[in-house]
Structure formats: C-alpha cells, structure tokens
Amino acid sequence: MATAHSDAFARYSTAYRPTANEEFMNPDQLAYFRTKLLGWKEDILREAAETMTQLKDGPIQEADLNDRASSETDWGIHLRTRDRQRKLIAKIDSALRRIETGEYGFCEVTGEPISLARLEARPIATMTVEAQERHERNERVSRDD
C-alpha cells in the first residue's frame, strides 16, 4: 500500500535506493532520506495552504441543518488532520536536524542502526522496532497503573 509520503517522494527521487550492502548512513543514504523528508514536508505544507485557502473562502453556507452539520463535521475532521500534520512537520524537522548532526538512522535508546526498511517506511523513526515495542509496552503498563 502506497503512503502519501512515498507517493510524494517518487516525484523527488532518483534511481538510487539505499541497500544493506553499503556503509550505513553514508552520504548517499543521508542525501536520499533528506530528499525524502523534504519532499514529504513540501507536500504537507502545500496541503495545509490549500486548507487555509478553503477556510478563507468563507463560512459553511448550507441552508439545510443536516447538510450544515455534515459539513461542519467534515471540516472538523479536516482540521484535526491538519493539526496532526503540523505535528508531523515538527518530527520531519527533527529528522532533518539529526541528518545534519550525524544522528539520523540510529536508535535514540540503544544507539544501534535503525533498519533501512523501517526508515524507508517511516523516515522520522527515532527507535529500532525492538526499542519502539519496548517503549510501547512500558507505556501500556504505566497507563494500566
């Protein structure tokens, strides 16, 4: 299943794809993920601008109360989605900073490399799958207390 950021990345990418047969987080891999992150961010910002344009066009005009309620619900969902994307931009910016500081691709908990497959699927990942699962288990236990 293609994701929005993978579709967006296809427009910005070259034929290069990182492989396990090369040095982890070499300059080519860093450039690849930087391009992927920047393309994803650009798409989110463009979508947010489109939403703002639609909001500026004026209030919901439906005369029928049911139509109006439906439109307001749709807008609420749309705005919550934009809020999640705003938070996502902060994570993308953080990943871009990690690229600049040489920390990108390494687990913030264990210091081990995050698999290329995980970074391909979730380029903002900060933990290995194992560390993330441990973190989520600990969160569940904390919530249950």
pLDDT value of residue 39 = 96
CB 114 within 8 A of CB 127: yes
Q: Tell me the domain boundaries of the chain.
A: 4-105
Q: How confident is residue 64, by pLDDT bands cut at 50, 70 and 90? A: confident
CB 92 within 8 A of CB 40: yes
CATH fold label, 4-105: Four Helix Bundle (Hemerythrin (Met), subunit A) (1.20.120)
Instruction: Give mean pLDDT, residues 101-114.
Output: 97
Token duo for residue 18: 């990182």
pLDDT value of residue 66 = 78
